[in-house]
């Protein structure tokens, strides 16, 4: 197991932990009671774990882009686009959690409505994070660091990146041939990078 693969696994585990953590304030803030010490701690930890999960995703994004993304699009373009959806929704979930946590922590004791607003924010973030987790699991079943690098076990990172590029080019060549035979050169395939 290489470092990006390990970080991806931990990112997934922390992400699921964040999902579990944000359910708690969504339930306990819904009646707008003033915050107990435990609930304050829960809000802080939920924001922290969510930010950690997002931060780890951002940290491995460069390697993911270089090594996994191209083979992912070659194997299943629809799954590649779902990964795009996942990253958009992850940002939405992070923003909602941070906003809701700050809203609940800052609300004066008498303002139940603000804490109930925070509860709705956490509920929306939970639903979005559930979608993110499902998409993450699905996409990683198509292509991941482990599945791409297992074919070049023991290789250095540049070699693995080169392997990813070769996989992408092989897929491109295959789709180019298929496209050429199907359309009889009526629509040329893209052959050069932007």
Partner 1 sequence: MRAAPTERAAAALAAACFGLAAPLAYVGQRLFERARGGVADPTLILWEAHTAFYWRAGTAAWWAGVIAIGVYALARRRAPTERVTRALAVALVPIAIALVVVTWWYP
Question: Is the backbone of residue 32 left (phi > 0), alpha (psi -120 to 50) or beta?
Answer: left
Q: Is residue 97 close enough to count as binding partner 1 by CB under 8 A? A: yes
CB count, 10 Å around CB of 121? 24
- What's the chain's length in residues? 194
Q: Is residue 145 close enough to count as binding partner 1 by CB under 8 A? A: no
What is the rounded distance in angstroms from the CA atom of residue 30 to the CA atom of residue 191? 55
Q: Is residue 51 close enough to count as binding partner 1 by CB under 8 A? A: no
Q: Is residue 172 close enough to count as binding partner 1 by CB under 8 A? A: yes
Q: Which of 13, 40, 55, 65 binds partner 1 (CB under 8 A)?
A: 65
Q: Is residue 13 close enough to count as binding partner 1 by CB under 8 A? A: no
Residue 62 CA, chain-centre distance (Å), reads 13
Q: Is residue 166 close enough to count as binding partner 1 by CB under 8 A? A: no
What is the rounded distance in angstroms from the CA atom of residue 148 to the CA atom of residue 107? 48
What is the rounded distance in angstroms from the CA atom of residue 72 to the CA atom of residue 78? 9
Tell me which residues touch partner 1 (CB under 8 A).
58, 61, 65, 69-70, 73-74, 77, 80-82, 84-85, 87-89, 91-92, 95-100, 102-104, 106-108, 110-111, 113-114, 116-118, 120-121, 123-124, 127-128, 131, 168, 172, 175, 189-190, 193-194
């Amino acid at each position: 197991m290489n470092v990006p693969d390990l970080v991806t696994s931990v990112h997934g585990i922390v992400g699921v932990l964040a999902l579990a953590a944000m359910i708690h304030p969504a339930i306990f803030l819904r009646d707008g009671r003033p915050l107990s010490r435990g609930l304050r701690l829960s809000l802080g930890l939920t924001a922290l774990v969510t930010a950690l999960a997002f931060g780890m995703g951002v940290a491995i994004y460069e390697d993911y882009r270089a090594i996994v993304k191209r083979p992912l699009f070659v194997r299943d373009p629809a799954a590649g686009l779902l990964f795009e959806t996942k990253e958009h929704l992850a940002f939405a979930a992070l923003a909602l959690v941070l906003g809701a946590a700050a809203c609940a922590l800052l609300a004066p004791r008498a303002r139940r409505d603000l804490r109930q607003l925070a509860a709705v924010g956490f509920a929306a973030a939970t639903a979005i994070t559930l979608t993110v987790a499902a998409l993450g699991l699905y996409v990683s079943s198509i292509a991941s660091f482990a599945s791409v690098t297992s074919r070049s076990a023991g290789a250095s990172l540049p070699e693995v990146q080169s392997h990813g590029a070769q996989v992408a080019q092989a897929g491109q060549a295959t789709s180019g041939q298929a496209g050429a035979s199907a359309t009889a050169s009526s629509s040329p395939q893209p052959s050069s990078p932007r």
